[in-house]
Amino acid sequence: MAYRWKNTLSPADVTPEEHFLNRRAFMAGIVGTGAVAATGAAHAMTDEQLIPNTWEEITQYNNFYEFGTGKTDPASYASALNTDNWTIKIDGLVDRPGEYSMDQLTEGLTTEERIYRFRCVEAWAMVIPWNGFELKDILEKAGVQSGAKYVAFETLVRPSEMRGQRLPTLDWPYREGLRLDEANHPLTMMATGIYGKPMPNQNGAPIRLVVPWKYGFKSIKSIVRITLTDEEPPTSWNMANAREYGFYSNVNPKVDHPRWSQASHRVVGGGLFAKREDTLMFNGYEKEVASLYDGMDLTKFF
Ligand code: MTE
């Protein structure tokens, strides 16, 4: 079963990596719905394919405030981060709490390649070919207890290597959270690579969240802790400015940011062909995720 994704990009917008495109001809692109995943066919090639941004665009234009607030600061300074012997502490309402090594987290799971739209709340967008796993499969390893309703995430705090953390730009650690049903959705990934290469430090090495229907700041980088809770967890941008950044932060062209419109965005890259395009409800994943928010007032729960 293949899904048609509304694709307003044209091949002229970006310069794809040739190797990648060759491989992509036979590799799965985008996940199906939960129903499809449940039947075992988790992937479906799309008829209308997204053309990914280049490696350079994806790795040279970033937001990672632990390394500074400029778009090129992460590429300039994130090499200072040592990701050796990385662990994620999984705690809270789980049967098997503990410090999980990268090997333990990924053991028995097959790396998948997913080409997702990525829409920053600042109204720019890319298309990124991630490698990784469904978050759900990682949570299952820890055994989520029945009382859990939310998942909280934290980024590493290490100011000696993360120079941006020497300033109180945000209240470190960077924190994010999802409702458990959002976390268990088959589109929600823990990504460990891009274009088949290990995750670059500036993009959130060695492991980060990717939630393609939400604004990019929900996709927390360099995660060291995952906590299952029964209460909505505090999240960094909401803590910094609750009027401007809600807990849900679903991409929604009809709910503007207090200081700018969210109806359209700038496509990163493309040089002379750079352009704006209309932002899609739930970033183009409406069919897959809209039911998660049935009956909710999305202007209130923004
Ligand atoms: N995670 C951490 N720990 N720190 C950050 O500053 N920035 C967020 C998100 N995750 C951020 C983070 C924002 S605002 C965006 S748009 C995306 O990361 C950017 O991801 P990218 O640089 O891989 O495109």
Distance in Å, CA 113 to ligand 1 centroid: 20
Give the nearest ligand 1 atom to 204 CA. 23
* DSSP code string of 261-289: --SEEEES--GGG--EEEPPGGGGTHHHH
Tokens of 260: 């700018």
Q: DSSP letter for 144, please.
A: B
Q: What is the pLDDT of residue 119?
A: 98
Distance in Å, CA 204 to ligand 1 centroid: 8
Distance in Å, CA 221 to ligand 1 centroid: 6
Report the SS3 class of residue 163. helix
Q: Mean pLDDT of residues grouped by 10 in the chain (302 residues)?
A: 34 42 39 36 50 97 98 98 98 98 97 97 97 98 98 98 98 98 98 98 98 98 99 98 98 97 95 89 98 97 96
Closest CA relative to residue 257, chosen from 269, 246, 248: 246
62 lines ligand 1 (CB under 6 A): yes
Q: What is the pLDDT of residue 48?
A: 55
Closest CA relative to residue 184, chosen from 298, 292, 30, 296: 292
Spacing of C-alpha 78 from chain mean position: 18
Q: What is the pLDDT of residue 44?
A: 39
Give the nearest ligand 1 atom to 65 CA. 6
Tell me which residue has its CA closest to atom 9 in ligand 1. Answer: 217
Instruction: Compute the distance between CA of residue 211 and CA of residue 238 in angstroms, rounded to an integer.
Output: 17
217 lines ligand 1 (CB under 6 A): yes
